[in-house]
Amino acid sequence: MSLVLGPVHHWMYKKIKTTEARESFVANAFKEKYGQAADEILNNVYEKYPQSNPDTPLEELLEGVAIHQGIQELIIKAETREAATIAAFCEKYGDEAKELAVKAAHDCGVECGKKAAQENNEIGCTASRAFELLSGSFCDGMPCDRGAQVTDESDARTTWDHTDCIHESYWKDAGASFETMCELVTSWIAGFGEGVNPKIKYTREKAIAFGDSECISTYEISA
């Protein structure tokens, strides 16, 4: 029996591929810095958390499983593998690896933001529109999860919150630092905003990973 997949399922798969693109960006930065040692570390990670093939059709990936369950599993695999990669390099190289990963995530975010702007014919978009583009690219759980919720919105400044971190359990299961992964992802979000519009500044006002009761983030058009 063939699967009947709708636009939302392919939209989610696109988001998962964005996570995997960030993972690849970071892995390549590690390879450039650490050479053969990086390849050895990555091989060990991939033995436990096998890489996916980005060219595999979603229908093939979901064959034999319920659609919702299958997409959820793809999210878990992608986020856990990324976290396991970060954990492995931070264990060996400490803060140097963390800083390298955070910078690579930012650079990936810039590239993804530029791509999103081009695909949607956006030039110098507003803060609120930048958040909309972010929501279309960033994997923040399933549609049924309570992801980012806008709390204040205008063309110049848009703020959103999270009352729970959907990613926390995946990161911790992989042995990664909650704080490090939060910094990595928010660095990507900052880069995405800059890629969409170079005048957009991202601010992380609060973060659950750092002891706050909620996450609060803002995109703002700088003067």
Q: State the Cα–Cα distance between residues 101 and 28, nearest whole angstrom.
A: 10
pLDDT tens per residue, range 98-126: 999 999 999 999 999 999 999 999 989 99
Residue 211 sits at φ, ψ, to 5 deg, of 100, 0
Q: How much is the pTM? A: 0.95
Query: Is residue 2's pLDDT more than 80?
Result: no
- Helical ranges in the chain per DSSP H: 7-34, 36-48, 58-61, 67-93, 95-119, 127-137, 168-173, 178-196
pLDDT higher than threshold 80 for residue 172 = yes
Closest of 28, 120, 41 to residue 85, by C-alpha: 41
Structure tokens at 222: 């700088």
**Structural domains of the chain, with CATH:** 7-221 (3.90.1520)
For the cut 90, the answer to whether the pLDDT of residue 4 exceeds it is no
Better-scored residue on pLDDT, 69 or 142: 69
Instruction: Look at residue 53 in the predicted model and tell me its pLDDT.
Output: 86
Question: Where is 63: in which H helix or E strand?
Answer: none
The 10 Å Cβ neighbour count of residue 189 is: 23
Tell me the C-alpha distance between 77 and 71, whole Å. 10
Task: Give the up-direction half-sphere exposure of residue 108: CA atoms within 13 A in the CB hemisphere.
Answer: 27
**Pick from 14-23, 50-59, 198-207, 213-222: least confident:** 50-59
